[in-house]
């Protein structure tokens, strides 16, 4: 079960939108938060100016710490310097964090900060799951179901195991299998594997393009969280940034949890 999350705090005008969504993490078992803000290295200015920027960022983070503590979390914060994805990745290696949380907005500084290299690089290199919060839309109902997108293959095991760990926090859990033209026996076998490996999940088979189907079903069911797997070999829904994961991450209908391949 997840317990400790590192939150990438941009501290832009969009930061309050991400902040107010963090209590949603409680359903995943998160009880501890570390808020991380990264100041770019090599900014023009003196050491005194760097110290001032660090102090200002720390003050903003402390305000967030105070509010999140009132929400029942155990919270700390850090201000780092460097390239954001590298600094966050390095920090993760030194902690027991279960996952990293980022916000996604299609406009403004947060868009520039996370849509490009930072989010891309974290998704590729971070050995921890990534929780993405969409900031363009109103939060979905927290009582919505857990939606696991899977093809029921061996490559989907990590995402499936993590989804099963999360299952107790959600009243309903759905395992979505997207049919892209598989023969009927293969679809039936996939449903049987889901029912065996994920007791309590409702197996659902839909036709169409993977990313579109995930988006449609998430909106139709009011899903509170989508769980996706990331495989270095494309074995799970081709989720290697060229296709499904990129489309879902760039236009997420709700919270998205990206699970890296390997042991869960």
Rounded Cα distance, 144 and 171, in Å = 8
pLDDT at 18: 93
Handedness of CA 90, 162, 216, 210 (dihedral sign): positive
Give 37 or 157, the one with higher predicted confidence. Answer: 37
Q: Which residue has the higher pLDDT, 168 or 235?
A: 168
pLDDT at 30 over 70: yes
pLDDT in tens, 178-235: 876 655 557 788 788 888 889 999 999 888 888 889 999 999 999 999 998 865 444 3
C-beta of residue 262 within 8 angstroms of C-beta of residue 232: no
- pLDDT at residue number 46: 57
Q: Which residues contact 135 (CB under 8 A, 6 or more apart)?
A: 14, 17, 18, 21, 103, 104, 105, 110
- C-alpha 15/C-alpha 17 separation (Å) is 5
Sequence-distant (≥ 6) Cβ neighbours of residue 232 within 8 angstroms? 240, 261
pLDDT value of residue 86 = 83
- HSE on the CB side for 116, CA within 13 Å? 10
Q: What is the pLDDT of residue 227?
A: 94
Long-range contact set of residues 242-248: C-beta below 8 Å, sequence gap at least 24: 243/210, 243/211, 244/149, 244/210, 244/211, 244/214, 245/123, 247/211, 247/215, 248/211, 248/214, 248/215
Spell 82-111 as b/e; 16+ CB within 10 A means b. ebbbbbbbebbeeeebbbbbbbbbeeeebb
Give the span between the Cα atoms of 60 and 141, in whole angstroms. Answer: 28
pLDDT of residue 157 exceeding 80, the answer is yes
Residue with tokens 């900031």: 135
Proportion of the chain above pLDDT 70, given as a percent: 77
Q: List the domains of the chain with CATH numbers.
A: 4-134 (3.40.50.620), 146-260 (3.40.50.620)
pLDDT tens per residue across span 91-146: 888 888 989 998 876 554 434 444 445 665 666 655 788 899 988 777 666 789 99
pLDDT reported for residue 244: 67
Q: What is the pLDDT of residue 187?
A: 74
Averaged pLDDT score across all residues of the chain: 81
List the structure tokens of 169: 């926090």
Highest mean pLDDT among 23-32, 149-158, 227-236, 238-247: 23-32
pLDDT at position 236 is 39
**What pLDDT, on the 0 to 100 scale, is given for residue 123?**
64
Note the pLDDT of residue 72: 96
Taking the C-alpha atoms of residue 66 and residue 7, their distance in angstroms, rounded to an integer, is 15
Tokens of 59: 């003050």
């Amino acid at each position: 079960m997840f317990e400790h999350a590192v939150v990438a705090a941009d501290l832009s005008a969009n930061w309050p939108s991400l902040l107010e969504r963090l209590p949603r993490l409680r359903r995943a078992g998160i009880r501890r938060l570390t808020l991380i803000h990264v100041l770019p290295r090599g900014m023009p200015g003196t050491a005194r100016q760097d110290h001032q920027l660090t102090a200002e960022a720390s003050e903003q983070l402390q305000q967030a710490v105070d509010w999140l503590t009132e929400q029942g979390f155990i919270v700390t914060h850090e201000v780092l310097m460097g390239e954001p994805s590298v600094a966050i990745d390095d920090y993760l290696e030194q902690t027991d964090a279960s996952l990293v949380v980022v916000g996604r907005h299609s406009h403004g500084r947060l868009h520039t900060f996370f849509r490009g290299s930072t989010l891309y690089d974290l998704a590729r290199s971070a050995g921890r799951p990534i929780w993405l919060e969409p900031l363009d839309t109103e939060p979905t109902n927290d009582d919505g179901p857990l939606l696991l997108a899977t093809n029921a293959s061996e490559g989907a095991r990590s995402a499936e195991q993590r989804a099963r760990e999360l299952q107790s926090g959600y009243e309903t859990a759905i395992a979505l299998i997207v049919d892209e033209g598989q023969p009927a026996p293969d679809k039936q076998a996939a449903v049987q594997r889901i029912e065996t490996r994920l007791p309590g999940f409702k197996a659902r088979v839909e036709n169409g393009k993977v990313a579109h189907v995930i988006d449609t079903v998430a909106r139709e069911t009011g899903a509170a969280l989508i769980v996706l797997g990331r495989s270095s070999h494309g074995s799970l829904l081709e989720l290697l940034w060229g296709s499904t994961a990129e489309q879902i991450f760039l236009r997420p209908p709700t919270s998205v949890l990206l699970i890296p391949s390997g042991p869960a």
